[in-house]
Amino acid sequence: MADLKALCMKCRDANKKPTMQTMVNPVVTKNDKGRYSAKGTCANCGGNMFKFMSEADAEAMQKAA
């Protein structure tokens, strides 16, 4: 399974901007409006992460799992 990267709000750089981290155990869901998203935890700090995804990326993630 490919690594999913997303912004982590807890892991910040020197300029106080969120940094891209790898998401561990992503769970792909579809909301009632048809948007796909992934929820997981940060591999670096263990904080919660969230990312909107395209339909193609979401289906690829679900097939790989």
* pLDDT one-digit tens code per residue, 5-58: 998 889 888 899 888 899 998 899 999 999 999 999 999 899 999 999 999 999
Domains of the chain: residue spans and CATH = 4-12+19-64 (2.20.25)
Task: Determine the pLDDT at residue 9.
Answer: 87
pLDDT attached to residue 30: 93
Q: How far apart are CA 32 and CA 22, in angstroms?
A: 27
Q: Tell me, what's the pLDDT at 13?
A: 87
Task: Quote the pTM value.
Answer: 0.79
Q: What pLDDT was estimated at residue 2?
A: 63
By C-alpha distance, which of 56, 33, 39, 42 is closest to 12? 42
